[in-house]
Structure 1
Amino acid sequence: MVSGFGTSALWLVSGVWVKDLTGSDGLAALCMVAMWAPTLAGPLLGTLADRTRRKPLLIGANLLLAVLLLTLFTVDSPDRLWLLLAVLFVYGAAGVVHDAAESALVASAVPTPLLGDFNGLRMTASEGMKLLAPPAGAAVYAAYGGASVALLDAVTFVVATGLYACLRLRESRPEPPKGDWRTQTAEGARFLWTRPRLRPLVLAGGTTMLCAGLNGALIYAVIDGLGHTPAYAGVLYAVQGAGSVVVGLLSGPALRRFGERRFAACGIALASVAAGLRAVPSDPVALACGAAIGAGLPCVLIAALTAVQRETPQALLGRTAATANTLVFTPNVVGLAAGAALVELFDVRLLSAVLGAAWLMTVLPLLRQSAASPSRTATRSASDANPA
C-alpha cells in the first residue's frame, strides 16, 4: 500500500511533468514506455530473485530507488529530460525484480491455502492506491512541482523498506547457480510452459490483458458517444477501480469454491460481456460495464499468480513469476497500440461488440481444462514450498 501510493502518484505526474517541460505529447508518452520496457526482460531480471535471499534484495531495491529518485531534483529544463527517462527505466527494471522477489517471498511466508486470499488483498490494496494516489500526486505537483512528487515517492520507499525489515522470516541461502545466466533464465520459462496447470492460466492472462488494452484504447470514443467531455474518463476509471477492490476481497473464498481455472473463466466472461455492452450509448450501462470490467479483470491475474506460487519450487519461483508477468502484461501495451489504430478506422460500437465476442472465446480453453482435470484444492503446506 505504501510504495504503491508513491508509484501511482509518480506514474501520473511524470507524463504531466514532461508535457510541461517540452510541450510534446510524444515525449510525455515516453515516460510510460520507459517504465514498461523492462517488463520485456522479465525472465532475465527475475533470475536475480533466485540467486540471492529475497528479503535483503527487496530492502536493497527499495533503498536504491529512494536514493535514485532524489536525483530528479535536478530536472528543471528540457535538456535534463534524459535523466528523468533514465530514472524511470531503472524504476521499471527494479519493479520487475521487486515483483519477482515479492511473489517468491509471499509463497514462503503465507500458508499455501491462504495464497489466494493474500493475493486478493494485495490486489485490493493496489487498486485502492490507484484511486487515491493520482489526485494526491496531481495536487502535490500543482503546488510544489515534479521534484516534490519524486520526494514523496522516495519517502514511501523508505517506509516500505522499514516494513520489509520487520518481516519475520528465515531464508536459507540459495544453492550455487548451475549454468550461466541464460541457462538459468530458460529454466523458469521451461518450467512454466511444461506445466499443464500453469500454461493455460498464463496464456489466458496474456489474452485477457491484450483485450483489456484494446478495450482501454476505446474509452474516449465511448465517452464521445455518451456526450461527455474527456474528463468523464475519471469517473469510469474510478468505478472500474471500485470493482477491482471488491473482487480482491472476495477472491480467496471464490478460489476455494471454484478453483483457479473456473474463477479465471468467470472473470473473463464477466469482463468480455461488459466490454461488448459498452456499445450501448447509456450512462447507467457504461457505469455498470466499468464496474464489471474492474471486477472481471483481476480474476485471471489473481488465479494465475496464485497457481504459479503454489506449483513452482522456491528455487525457481523468482524467474518463473517474472516470466509469467512478462507473458501476461506485455500484451496490454500491444492492445493499447492496436486499439488506438482501430478506433480511428471503425465505429466504436462495432469494435466493442466484436471485442466482447472475441474476448469471450478465450474462456473455452479454461473450461476444457477444467472438465478434463477437475481443479483440486491445495494440499501442500508452507513447509513443502520452503523446507528450511
Structure 2
Amino acid sequence: MLADLTPLRTSPDYRRLWFGNTVSWIGQGMTSLAVSLQVYDITGSAFSVGLIGFCSFLPLVVFGLYGGAVADTLDRRRLGLVSATGSFVLSVVLVVVAVVGLERVWPLYVVVALQAACFAVNSPARSSMIARLLPAEQLPAANALSSMTSTTGTLVGPMLGGLVVGWWGYRAAYTVDAVTFTASLYAMWRLPPMLPEREEGAGPGRASVADGLRFLGTRPNLRMTFFTDLCAMVLAHPRALFPVVAVVWYGGDARTTGLLVAAPALGALLGGVFSGWLGRVRRHGLAVLLAVASWGAAVAVFGLTRQLWLGLLFLALAGCADTTSMVFRNTMLQAAVPDEMRGRLQGVFIVVVAGGPRLGDFVAGSVSDLASPVLAVTGGGIACVVAVALLGLRHRGFAGYDAKDPRP
C-alpha cells in the first residue's frame, strides 16, 4: 500500500531530479507566501495581493503552450537547465529587492510573472523526460512520487515561509528559496542530453502548437484526460467559498479557513504516500473516471456537512481522489503519446491545470451569490459526477484503456 519507491532505486537520474524538485518546491512555497505578505505590507490591499495570481496566470497559459512546443524541438535537458537557471536568478533578484528595502510592488509583480514563465517552459521539458528515464511500468509510481513533491511543497513551504518571515524577514525566505533551487539545477545538469525522438528519416524541423492541438483532436483517450479533469476543476471546485463556509457553516474564523484549505492538500499527500497499489491497475481510463466521480461525490457530501471534522474528512478524501486521477492522467499522457509530441501535450496539461481551478473559482462564487453556498458546493459535486458519467457513456473506449496496450 505504501508508495512504490522503485523509480528512486533504479534510476539515479530520476532520483536526483525528484529530490531536486522536492526541495525547490518547498522553497517556492516559501517564496509564494513571502511575496503575498510583502505585497500586503506595502499596500495594505487584499486586491493588490490578488493581482499576484493574475500576474502568474497569463504567463502560465501563454508560455505553457509555447514552452511545450519548444520542448519538442530542442534538447529538453538544456531547455530545463536554462529555464531553471532563470528561476534561480529571479529568486536572487527577490533577495536583492529585500536587501535594498525597495518599497514598491511592481518589481514583485514582474518577478512573479517571469517566474511563472520559467516554470511554464521548464515543466513540459521536465515532464517529457520522465518517460525517457523510466520504463512504462514504473510511470504510475513516478507520478505518485511527483504528486508527493507538489503537495509537500504546498503544505510545508508556506508554513516554513511564515515562520522564516516572522523570525528573520523576507530576505531570509527568499535566500532559502535561492539556495534550494541549486538542488534542481544540479539534478538537471547531471541528466544526459535528451533530444525529442522522431520517426526515422524525419528532419529536426519545428514543433507547432497547432500541430499538437490537431494531434490531440484526433486522440479520444487523451482528450478525455483533459475533459474529466475540467469536470472536477470547473464544476466542483469549492476553494473560493472556504472563507464563507468557515463562518456560515462552521462558525469559525480565518484559522478554520486555513484548515479547509489544508485538508485537500493533506488528502492528496496521503494519496501519494499510500499509492503502492496504483502500479497494479491496468485500466487507467476507468480508474480516472472513478477517481473524478469520487472527487465530485466527496465535494457534494462536504456541502451537506455542518461538523468541521466531518467536512475536513470529506475534503481530504477529495484530495486523495484527485491524486489518483492525476497519477493515471499523467501516466496516459506519458505512455500513449509519441515522444515528439510529449512536450506540447504537457503544455496543454499546464494550461488546463492553471486555468481550470480559476474558472472553477468563478463558477462557485457566481452560483453562491446567485443562489447559495450549498447549491454551489453540493450541486457542483453532483454535476461533476453526472458529467463524468455522461462522458464515460459517450466515449466508452476510454474505460477500456489498457496500460499494457496504450492507445491515445
The one of 325, 329, 334 equivalent to 2:350 is: 325
The answer to whether structure 1 residue 374 and structure 2 residue 393 are counterparts is no
The answer to whether structure 1 residue 300 and structure 2 residue 325 are counterparts is yes
2-side partners of 1:88 and 1:241: how far apart?
Answer: 23
1-side partners of 2:194 and 2:287: how far apart?
Answer: 32
Distance 1:364 1:20, change over 3 A: same
Q: Deviations over 1:326-353 (max 9, x none)?
A: 1343121111133234333432223222
The one of 223, 242, 249 equivalent to 1:219 is: 242
The answer to whether structure 1 residue 52 and structure 2 residue 78 are counterparts is no
- Counterparts of residues 56-135 of structure 1 (less than 5 Å): 56-72=78-94, 73-74=96-97, 76-78=101-103, 80-135=104-159
- Identity of matched residues, %: 24
- Counterparts of residues 23-38 of structure 1 (less than 5 Å): 23-38=44-59
> How far 1:355 sits from its partner (Å)?
1.1
Distance 1:343 1:172, change over 3 A: closer
- For 1:203, the aligned partner's letter is F
In structure 2, the partner of 1:7 is 28
The answer to whether structure 1 residue 196 and structure 2 residue 224 are counterparts is no
In structure 2, the partner of 1:260 is 284
> How far 1:366 sits from its partner (Å)?
5.0
Distance 1:165 1:178, change over 3 A: closer
SS of residue paired to 2:283: helix
Q: Deviations over 1:94-129 (max 9, x none)?
A: 111111001111011111111111001110122122
Indicate if the aligned counterparts of 1:271 and 1:297 stay in contact, CA closer than 8 A: yes
The answer to whether structure 1 residue 154 and structure 2 residue 181 are counterparts is no
In structure 2, the partner of 1:178 is 205
- Counterparts of residues 265-280 of structure 1 (less than 5 Å): 265-278=289-302, 279-280=304-305
In structure 2, the partner of 1:363 is 388
2-side partners of 1:95 and 1:285: how far apart?
Answer: 36
Q: Deviations over 1:298-357 (max 9, x none)?
A: 232222221111111111211121112213431211111332343334322232221121
- For 1:338, the aligned partner's letter is V
SS of residue paired to 1:47: helix
Indicate if the aligned counterparts of 1:5 and 1:129 stay in contact, CA closer than 8 A: yes
Indicate if the aligned counterparts of 1:188 and 1:319 stay in contact, CA closer than 8 A: yes
The answer to whether structure 1 residue 22 and structure 2 residue 48 are counterparts is no
The one of 335, 348, 351 equivalent to 1:310 is: 335
Q: Deviations over 1:182-220 (max 9, x none)?
A: xx111111112211121111111122222353x111212
Aligned residues: 374
Distance 1:49 1:255, change over 3 A: same
2-side partners of 1:376 and 1:173: how far apart?
Answer: 25
SS of residue paired to 2:151: helix
Structure 1 gap segments, 5+ residues each: 381-388
> How far 1:255 sits from its partner (Å)?
5.6
Distance 1:376 1:258, change over 3 A: closer
- For 1:139, the aligned partner's letter is L
Distance 1:260 1:372, change over 3 A: closer
SS of residue paired to 1:312: coil
> How far 1:379 sits from its partner (Å)?
4.8
Moved over 6 A (4+): none
Q: Deviations over 1:196-249 (max 9, x none)?
A: 121111111122222353x11121222111111121122233332221112224
SS of residue paired to 1:343: helix
Moved more, 100-109 or 269-278: 269-278
The answer to whether structure 1 residue 164 and structure 2 residue 184 are counterparts is no
SS of residue paired to 2:365: helix
2-side partners of 1:165 and 1:284: how far apart?
Answer: 46
In structure 2, the partner of 1:384 is none
Q: Deviations over 1:26-60 (max 9, x none)?
A: 11111122122222212122212122111222222
Structure 2 gap segments, 5+ residues each: 1-21
SS of residue paired to 2:194: coil
Indicate if the aligned counterparts of 2:224 and 2:398 stay in contact, CA closer than 8 A: no
> How far 1:69 sits from its partner (Å)?
1.9
> How far 1:143 sits from its partner (Å)?
2.3
1-side partners of 2:388 and 2:196: how far apart?
Answer: 41
2-side partners of 1:233 and 1:320: how far apart?
Answer: 35
Indicate if the aligned counterparts of 1:117 and 1:249 stay in contact, CA closer than 8 A: no
Moved more, 325-334 or 186-195: 325-334
2-side partners of 1:212 and 1:13: how far apart?
Answer: 29
The one of 357, 374, 378 equivalent to 1:353 is: 378
2-side partners of 1:166 and 1:296: how far apart?
Answer: 34
- For 1:311, the aligned partner's letter is A
> How far 1:250 sits from its partner (Å)?
4.4
